[in-house]
Structure 1
Amino acid sequence: MTGRETWIAEVEGIETLDTHTHLIGDKLCAQSFWDIAHYFWLNREMQAGGYPANVAELPEKERIEAFLKAYRATRNTLMNWTATHIFKQLYGIELRDERSVYEADEAVRASAQKAGWAQQVADKLNVRAFVVNHPDHAKFVGMRRDAILLPRIDGKLPQWTRAIAASAQPEEAYEEARGSIDELFASYREQGCPGVMTTLPAFEASANRSYSLKAGATEDQILMMLLHAVCEAAERHGLLVQIFVGVERSWCGTAIPVNDPLKIAKLSGLFERYAVPFELVAASELNNLDIVQAAWNFPNVHTGGQWWFNFRASTYRYAMQYRLEALPALKSSLIVSDARCIEWSYGKIALVKRLMAEFLFEQTERGWIDRETALQVAKGWLYESAAQRYSFRE
């Protein structure tokens, strides 16, 4: 192997922690070819390549024909590369024709029946742990360890906000919500959760301002007051706060990326005020730099992986350049597979490791860093940063 190939193989073997998944502990594996073929991100690209939206209603033969046509049309896309890599590396199958699809389906169905398949797939890239956000998903059946649980609270924040806004005694309602948050976070700490996770839609409020319920605070202002309560409780109970930004659902019927240039700035008052570890995960390209700047400015802020529309080779390269220049590796995690089955976690992590290895190799070739530093960075971005933040121990 060349020096470059040797380096890529070394990076592939580095311990890894997947910081955001939708894996379900008793349903970790794909059950059929279509569980892999219809993963949301691949499906989006396939539909752009002519794949019909109602494909599940088609007879099997027509469905396969439609898949192969769209698959060939999207050979240049990133998720096509990932799906191709999954089938080649996990099953030894190249998707060429109808027969290969049937072979792939048979192979996936067979692997789903293997007791150790999920662990075997994780071990291929040395993935030591996975993060989930629902308590009933955390028990990983057939694997050496359960998932790390970061309960999500974004379903609760709007409920508390609306209840306070609609209350005849909003101050009392706010205090009741604060009590609920504190009680909830105490229970999370007792369960051993290292922190909580939330997404944040657009809002017109700032953490460095004070708002009055007596004066008729808006719902956005109430939300900001609740975020202060969240950070107070997180500080009290020793929890980290993982915040996902960059996806909006209010403009149309589907989620879209929004580069909000003030989103992180509006939150910076929280970073400054509370002794809480914050992990920022961005889904829009311009916010990649914003979260790096926040992590540079505030010792308790960390950058997380690439989410949603940021899962592109181009945005990864920009994000890695920003982080390499400005942050110690222990301030930055890079792996967010967002996967719903173990096979897609494998495929997306394989892709990120390849991009990271290429990027760091190029930096050594240009003389900006040496190989020892490149290895230190890779270990921090893939595992050590997240393991430290989540207090994960083998």
Structure 2
Amino acid sequence: MNHTSIHDEIMGLEVIDTHTHLIGDKLCAVDFWEIADYFWFNRELQTAGYPADADTLPEKDRIVAFLHAYRSSRNTMMNIAFTAIMKDLYNIDITDESSIRQADEAVRKNSTTLGWAQNVADRLNIRRFVVNRPEHAVFEGMKYNALLFPRIDSWLPGLITDIHMSSNRQETLDQAKQTIYDHLQSYEDMGCRGIMTTLPHYEAAAHTDHELSDDSKSDEIMMMLLHEVCRGLEKRGMFLQLFLGVERRWGNTSAAPVNDALRIVRLYGLFESYSIPFELVVASEINNLDVVQAAWNFANVHVGGMWWYNFRASTYMQSMQYRLEAIAPIKSSLIVSDARCIEWTYGKLVVVKRLLAKFLDEQIRSGWIDREQALNLAADWLYGSAAKRYGVLE
């Protein structure tokens, strides 16, 4: 069976995008620059000399600077995705100033075209999208609203700080537990199947029985509250999606991927103690193996998509190999677009589907799996695993 046939099959498979920053009444990019200035693409353009303040330049100068950086970074992942957006969605090759102005006109026109967002999603059969803010969940002009998993890092760090700074820590802890209960109850009342959070660096381990004292450190308090969160989720039949591996403690503005070899095992105490599903999404390369090991060890642990610095062909191929060898496909979801407009969901997902087709074609050729197994695996990685966990298949 040749590569093209597997490629075509995978391009048609259904997808759930498990993490986006889409806003329901602003799904489409309003102009060319909203697509071109996407954070990750902009970072790669800057490696080719694109000014960090390009948006303040006169338009003609901005176009000249963009074209130079675009041509000089054609090898990068986001450039490839951006090129696919322009070519596939608008039938435009970015070559000169005229093509950029043509693209800008096309993006502006389609942003106000009824059904454009759904059209973009349908091109790759993206069925559902996940958001983390209630006000973003109503998707105007789409077949379905977003799946809403509220992110608790909007209030959890504040509770930790309150306890740490309190002159009466036990009383403040009791108040924090009530706050957690109230939040989780409100999410259940909204019909949410789960919640998500990022976590900062921590050295405390979840299997340790932390007792609150005047000497308790912030990360120990965080572990106490995470246990409380998990207890509340277990009572409600909800899941916890953990985003890990990005730290901001090494500079004033920049985030960094940190390959902490103990990051995942420090959470084993949560996985052992609570029957809720845990979905682990990581942004650091070494932790791609650690989350697969956790999913192998614990029936309630699932591996999520490739986040932040993991969105590269090399890490995708390596992570897919880990997953293929160790865990059933229903335990693994592959897609995290992190997109801020519907066009970038297309650009990033078309690249991932291409990589998946290449990976599976190689596995078939090597005799590791057959074509039917490959397509079943791809269907779960792209859709089935998340759909089951999120209740979409019920």
Separation in 1, partners of 2:140, 2:317 = 35
Separation in 1, partners of 2:55, 2:337 = 25
Residue identity in the other structure for 2:312: R
Corresponding residue of 1:290: 290
Shift of 1:215: 5.0
Shift of 1:174: 1.0
Separation in 1, partners of 2:353, 2:305 = 12
Corresponding residue of 1:366: 366
Q: Is the 8 A contact 2:18 2:335 kept in 1?
A: yes
Shift of 1:180: 1.3
Per the alignment, in what secondary structure is the counterpart of residue 335 of structure 1? coil
Corresponding residue of 1:321: 321
Separation in 2, partners of 1:23, 1:73 = 29
Corresponding residue of 1:342: 342
Alignment of 1:256-335 (within 5 A): 256-335=256-335
Q: State, as a whole percentage, how many aligned pairs show the same letter.
A: 57
Separation in 2, partners of 1:321, 1:371 = 16
Corresponding residue of 2:168: 169
Separation in 1, partners of 2:55, 2:214 = 53
Corresponding residue of 2:39: 40
Corresponding residue of 2:183: 184
Separation in 1, partners of 2:299, 2:321 = 20
Shift of 1:157: 1.4
Per the alignment, in what secondary structure is the counterpart of residue 51 of structure 2? coil
Corresponding residue of 1:196: 195
Separation in 2, partners of 1:316, 1:204 = 28
**Gapped runs of 5+ residues in structure 2?**
none
Shift of 1:393: 4.1
Corresponding residue of 1:205: 204
Q: Is the 8 A contact 2:169 2:214 kept in 1?
A: no
Corresponding residue of 2:378: 378
Residue identity in the other structure for 1:377: L
Shift of 1:213: 1.6
Per the alignment, in what secondary structure is the counterpart of residue 42 of structure 1? helix
Shift of 1:210: 1.4
Per the alignment, in what secondary structure is the counterpart of residue 324 of structure 1? helix
Deviation string, structure 1 residues 87-127 (Cα, Å, up to 9, x no partner): 00000000000100000000000000101000000000000
**Gapped runs of 5+ residues in structure 1?**
none
Separation in 2, partners of 1:378, 1:205 = 37
Residue identity in the other structure for 2:128: A
Shift of 1:269: 0.4
Separation in 1, partners of 2:163, 2:335 = 37
Separation in 1, partners of 2:155, 2:270 = 19
Alignment of 1:20-99 (within 5 A): 20-99=19-98
Per the alignment, in what secondary structure is the counterpart of residue 128 of structure 1? strand
Separation in 2, partners of 1:190, 1:384 = 26
Which stretch shifts more, 340-349 or 173-182? 173-182
Separation in 2, partners of 1:380, 1:150 = 20
Residue identity in the other structure for 2:311: F
Separation in 2, partners of 1:86, 1:149 = 26
TM-score, length-scaled by structure 2: 0.98
Corresponding residue of 2:248: 249
Per the alignment, in what secondary structure is the counterpart of residue 153 of structure 2? coil
Shift of 1:155: 2.0
Separation in 1, partners of 2:210, 2:285 = 31
Separation in 1, partners of 2:243, 2:53 = 31
Q: Is the 8 A contact 2:283 2:306 kept in 1?
A: yes
Residue identity in the other structure for 1:283: A
Shift of 1:54: 1.4
Separation in 2, partners of 1:356, 1:230 = 35
Deviation string, structure 1 residues 339-374 (Cα, Å, up to 9, x no partner): 000000011011111100110111001100001100
- RMSD over aligned CA atoms reads 1.0
Corresponding residue of 2:357: 357
Per the alignment, in what secondary structure is the counterpart of residue 129 of structure 2? strand
Which stretch shifts more, 154-163 or 285-294? 154-163
Separation in 2, partners of 1:286, 1:45 = 22
Separation in 2, partners of 1:25, 1:360 = 34
Separation in 1, partners of 2:221, 2:52 = 40
Deviation string, structure 1 residues 236-265 (Cα, Å, up to 9, x no partner): 111100001110011112111100100101
Per the alignment, in what secondary structure is the counterpart of residue 154 of structure 1? helix
How many aligned residue pairs are there?
393
Separation in 2, partners of 1:142, 1:313 = 33
Residue identity in the other structure for 1:321: Q
Separation in 2, partners of 1:104, 1:166 = 53
